[in-house]
């Protein structure tokens, strides 16, 4: 790699920086000396990560924490590697950041009891490959091509599966034991198979009841073992397992059809041995981060028994997010959550936030990358956000292809950033990155993502791009790039290198907050302040796409609105407010998240949403959407309700039998006078009776 120690040292503020070319061999002593210093140590090599780890364990007095970063495939191996020093400096600077703060964990416990579902012969063959470390139970689903082995080495269940749910260490199988042959009693003598005139019994020892003509020849030949009983109660049975290996075709079974399968559940096509290797390793206790934090008071899902926002429920590919209508909230199952973060990306209020790493930590990383890149002389920075699994592998494959002169490689201005999942960042972090100086934020999709994730990301990008263009930032700043092969990725990245985008003249200095709305507001304030389009030429408001917009206003049809203020109690963001002194409906547009709860709650269907970004100061100020003349109590004169609401109520109840005469007149009174008048009338009735 054409590395310049002087240029990197200047960018990293490290005088006298030394570049080691054979650090993992004859210069290993320099590494050992560094890890004895107590300072943080960053090793810019991931190929020999195992070797450096072993050296660290063998080095006496080694106390320094060690971090690794790949600067080879991501920058040093490309056709423009000579211009990649700013990017490499940025990657090194980001690697020096503190590790993310620890978060609560989710624990799985597995004793290794595995259920293998499929044709009996295949299931037995697979069982032989894992039974040395796992406790195997088979659930037969047909005899397969050659029938089952005659030696009964594993417990075998049979019947019709009616339910399978759970996760690693906690799967529950439900099945209906409708097979007349008891597989525990069956000796596999095959007499029943030979005796059946309809060939209704297979070598999985299941009877095809549709083909059976009730000759019962099988029962006669099985009298000694007594394994066949057509009158046995076909009850539902349950059993728990730690792991499930499903040999059936995904299209042939309704079990776990969601995109993100539960941890501990595997499908196997008979070829991918890595699946069996992962299965064998899942014995013991395992932990993963609890990837989300939920704040119910911010949630726009439900209020007053009315459902508004369903974004997180609809997008979750693991079916880990559900609706708890009885408690007016959403519920996330941490055992099913795979940490994709899509729910936090589409959440308009920030009720669901990504916890590992936190938004503030992710923002600090993006800010460090971009500020270091710019300080080192880099131009037109492109952030390539990719997954740490397939996305990372694809970037590294491209780097190796470039080293072999088969591709251009990752361009010098493209900075790869690995994420746990590409759906874990959204409009708040993307716009923050643009405010920090990124000319483009590109999210790489590799086919491993659920389709709804890509749709959700694109909807968020459309909103953010519309905002930027409305402010005069020309070009395409946000892009969803899809590639499954290094050649596709290479061509797409080369095309990006040819484009230029307008960015803020001055990079932002704010720190990303943990609260999504706070970050979004700070990013918007900076982008508006630095907008290329002069204030006199900007529109008063930028209209935004209806799908996915977290910003906007509402319109109230005054002819319908009765100022019942049910929308105020439903609003989770305090965008809608009342006035304690006057019958008014007030609105602060900056707070509105466009969740729609106000519209679904309104009994008069008087509210419609209007996605937009208001650019005038009124965005942060309360404004009156509707007001009315107060109704004065006909008894004491105290104002209560509105003239329109009381007149509407009187009109609707005037013909009701219970509201005639004095009862109708009491509707014109305040609550206190209504009680007094009713009590007085009752006393007058008693005096008259006397």
- Identify the top-confidence range among 192-196, 588-592, 686-690: 588-592
User: 33-83, pLDDT tens digit by residue?
Assistant: 999 988 888 999 899 999 999 999 999 998 888 999 999 999 899 999 999
Residue 439 confidence (pLDDT) above 90: yes
- Return the pLDDT at 593: 94
Of 503, 521, 505, 509, the closest CA to residue 620 belongs to 521
What does each C-alpha distance from 654 to 594, 646, 648, 650, 658 come to in angstroms? 38, 12, 10, 6, 9
- Reduced to 3 states (helix: H, G, I; strand: E, B; else coil), residue 244 is strand
Q: Per CATH, is 290-354 categorized as 3.30.70.20?
A: yes
Judge whether 475 and 448 are in contact, CB under 8 Å: no
Residue 594 confidence (pLDDT) above 60: yes
**Structural tokens at position 137:** 């139970």
Judge whether 62 and 36 are in contact, CB under 8 Å: yes
Q: With left for phi above 0 and alpha for psi between -120 and 50, is residue 188 left, alpha or beta?
A: left
Q: Cβ neighbours of residue 597 under 8 Å, at least 6 residues apart?
A: 300, 302, 303, 306, 308, 309, 567, 570, 571, 572
- Return the pLDDT at 295: 92
Q: Cα angle vertex 182, ends 181, 184, to 5°? A: 140
Handedness of CA 118, 120, 122, 127 (dihedral sign): positive
Residue 643 confidence (pLDDT) above 90: no
Range from 11-15, 172-176, 336-340, 449-453 carrying the lowest mean pLDDT: 11-15
Give pairs for 6-9: CB < 8 Å, separation 24+.
Answer: 7/85, 7/89, 7/376, 8/85, 8/88, 8/89, 8/92
Q: How far apart (Å, rounded) are the C-alpha atoms in residues 107 and 468?
A: 43
Q: Would you give the distance in Å from CA 163 to the centre of its chain?
A: 26
User: 520-565, pLDDT tens digit by residue?
Assistant: 999 999 999 999 999 999 999 999 998 889 999 999 999 899 888 9
Judge whether 432 and 512 are in contact, CB under 8 Å: yes
For the chain, residues classed under CATH 3.50.50 are: 110-286
Residue 352 confidence (pLDDT) above 70: yes
Judge whether 382 and 75 are in contact, CB under 8 Å: no
Judge whether 398 and 407 are in contact, CB under 8 Å: yes
Judge whether 173 and 115 are in contact, CB under 8 Å: yes
In the structure, what pLDDT confidence band is assigned to residue 679 with cuts at 50, 70 and 90? confident
Q: Give the count of beta carbons closer than 10 Å to the beta carbon of residue 245.
A: 24
- Return the pLDDT at 150: 63
In the structure, what pLDDT confidence band is assigned to residue 209 with cuts at 50, 70 and 90? confident
Q: Cα angle vertex 245, ends 240, 251, to 5°? A: 110
Q: Cβ neighbours of residue 454 under 8 Å, at least 6 residues apart?
A: 445, 480, 482
Q: How far apart (Å, rounded) are the C-alpha atoms in residues 25 and 639?
A: 88
Q: What is the DSSP string of 83-123?
A: G-HHHHHHHHHHHTSPPPPP--EEEEEE--EEEEEE-HHHH
The β-bridge partners of 165 are 172
Residue 615 confidence (pLDDT) above 70: yes
Judge whether 181 and 195 are in contact, CB under 8 Å: no
In the structure, what pLDDT confidence band is assigned to residue 429 with cuts at 50, 70 and 90? very high
Residues 25-30 have a mean pLDDT of: 88
For the chain, residues classed under CATH 3.30.70.20 are: 290-354
Of 104, 120, 212, the closest CA to residue 128 belongs to 120
**Structural tokens at position 149:** 């082995």
Judge whether 223 and 195 are in contact, CB under 8 Å: no
First to last CA, the chain: 110
- Return the pLDDT at 263: 95
User: 647-677, pLDDT tens digit by residue?
Assistant: 888 888 888 888 888 888 889 999 899 999 8
Query: What is the fold, at CATH topology level, of the domain defined by 542-627?
Result: Alpha-Beta Plaits (3.30.70)
Q: How far apart (Å, rounded) are the C-alpha atoms in residues 366 and 433?
A: 7
Q: How far apart (Å, rounded) are the C-alpha atoms in residues 393 and 377?
A: 29
Residue 22 confidence (pLDDT) above 60: yes
652 CB-contact burial (10 Å; exposed 0-12 / middle 13-18 / buried 19+): exposed
Residue 143 confidence (pLDDT) above 70: no
Q: How far apart (Å, rounded) are the C-alpha atoms in residues 542 and 614?
A: 7
Q: Per CATH, is 110-286 categorized as 3.50.50?
A: yes
Looking up tokens 């997180």 gives 312
Of 460, 403, 471, the closest CA to residue 426 belongs to 460
H helices of 378-485, where?
Answer: 390-403, 427-436, 451-470
- Return the pLDDT at 36: 92
CB hemisphere CA count around 100 (13 angstroms): 18
Range from 102-111, 145-154, 308-317, 563-572 carrying the lowest mean pLDDT: 145-154
For the chain, residues classed under CATH 3.30.70.3270 are: 542-627
Residues 361-376 have a mean pLDDT of: 96
The β-bridge partners of 103 are none
The β-bridge partners of 306 are 303
Q: How far apart (Å, rounded) are the C-alpha atoms in residues 517 and 514?
A: 9
H helices of 542-619, where?
Answer: 566-570, 597-601
- Number of separate helices (H) and strands (E) present in the chain: 21, 30
Judge whether 206 and 177 are in contact, CB under 8 Å: no
Of 508, 535, 519, the closest CA to residue 438 belongs to 508
User: 214-245, pLDDT tens digit by residue?
Assistant: 889 999 999 888 889 888 777 788 999 999 99
């Amino acid at each position: 790699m054409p590395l310049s120690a002087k240029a990197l040292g200047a960018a990293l503020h490290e005088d006298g920086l030394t570049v080691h070319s054979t650090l993992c061999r004859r210069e290993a002593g320099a590494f050992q000396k560094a890890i004895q210093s107590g300072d943080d140590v960053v090793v810019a090599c991931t190929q020999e990560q195992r070797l450096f780890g072993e050296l660290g364990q063998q080095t006496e007095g080694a106390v320094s924490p060690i971090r690794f970063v790949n600067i080879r495939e991501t920058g040093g191996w490309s056709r423009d590697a000579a211009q990649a020093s700013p990017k490499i400096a940025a990657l090194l600077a980001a690697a020096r950041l503190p590790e993310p703060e620890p978060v609560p964990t989710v624990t799985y416990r597995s004793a290794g009891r595995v259920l293998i579902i499929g044709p009996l012969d295949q299931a037995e063959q697979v069982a032989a490959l894992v039974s040395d470390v796992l406790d195997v139970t088979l659930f037969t689903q047909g005899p397969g091509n050659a029938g089952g082995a005659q030696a009964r080495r594993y417990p075998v269940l049979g019947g019709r599966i009616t339910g399978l749910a759970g996760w690693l260490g906690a799967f529950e199988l439900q099945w209906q034991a409708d097979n007349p042959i008891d597989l525990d009693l069956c000796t596999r003598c095959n007499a029943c198979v030979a005796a059946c005139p309809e060939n209704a019994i297979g070598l999985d020892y299941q009877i095809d009841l549709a083909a059976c003509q009730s000759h019962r020849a099988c029962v006669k030949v099985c009298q000694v073992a007594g394994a066949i009983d057509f009158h046995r109660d076909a009850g539902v049975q349950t059993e728990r397992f730690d792991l499930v290996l499903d040999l059936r075709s995904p299209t042939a079974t309704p079990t776990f059809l969601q995109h993100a399968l539960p941890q501990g559940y595997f499908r196997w096509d008979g070829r991918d041995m890595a699946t069996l290797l992962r299965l064998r390793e899942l014995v013991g206790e395992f932990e993963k981060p609890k990837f989300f934090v939920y704040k119910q008071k911010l949630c726009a899902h439900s209020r007053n028994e009315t459902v508004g926002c369903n974004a997180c429920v609809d997008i979750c590919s693991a079916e880990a997010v559900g609706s708890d209508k009885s408690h007016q909230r959403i519920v996330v199952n941490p055992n099913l959550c795979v940490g994709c973060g899509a729910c936090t990306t589409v959440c308009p209020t920030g009720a669901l936030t990504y916890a590992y790493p936190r938004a503030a930590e992710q923002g600090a990383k993006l800010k460090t990358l971009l500020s270091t890149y710019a300080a080192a002389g880099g131009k037109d920075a492109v952030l390539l956000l990719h997954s740490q699994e397939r996305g990372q592998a694809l970037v590294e494959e491209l780097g190796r292809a470039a080293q072999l002169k088969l591709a251009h490689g990752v361009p010098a201005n493209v900075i790869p950033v690995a994420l746990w999942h590409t759906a874990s960042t959204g409009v708040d972090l993307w716009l923050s990155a643009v405010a920090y100086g990124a000319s483009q934020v590109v999210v790489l999709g590799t086919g491993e993502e659920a389709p709804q994730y890509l749709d959700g990301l694109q909807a968020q990008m459309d909103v953010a791009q519309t905002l930027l263009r409305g402010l005069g930032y020309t070009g395409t700043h946000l892009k969803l790039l899809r590639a499954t092969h290094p050649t596709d990725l290479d061509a797409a990245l080369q095309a990006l290198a040819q484009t230029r985008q307008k960015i803020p003249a001055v990079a932002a200095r704010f720190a990303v907050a943990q609260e999504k709305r706070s970050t979004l507001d700070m990013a918007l304030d900076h982008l508006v302040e630095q907008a290329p389009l002069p204030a006199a030429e900007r529109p008063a408001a930028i209209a935004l796409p209806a799908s996915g917009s977290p910003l906007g206003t509402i319109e109230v049809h005054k002819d319908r609105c009765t100022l019942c203020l049910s929308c105020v109690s439903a609003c989770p963001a305090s965008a809608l407010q009342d006035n304690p002194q006057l019958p008014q409906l007030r609105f602060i547009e900056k707070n509105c998240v466009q969740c729609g709860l106000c519209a679904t709650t309104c009994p008069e269907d008087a509210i419609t949403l209007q996605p937009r970004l208001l650019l005038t100061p009124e965005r942060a100020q309360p404004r009156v959407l509707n007001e009315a003349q107060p109704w004065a109590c006909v008894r004491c004169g105290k104002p209560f309700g509105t003239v329109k609401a009381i007149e509407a109520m009187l009109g609707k109840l005037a013909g009701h039998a219970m509201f005639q005469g004095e009862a109708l007149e009491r509707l014109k009174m305040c609550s206190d006078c209504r009680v007094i008048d009713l009590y007085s009338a009752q006393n007058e009735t008693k005096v008259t009776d006397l």
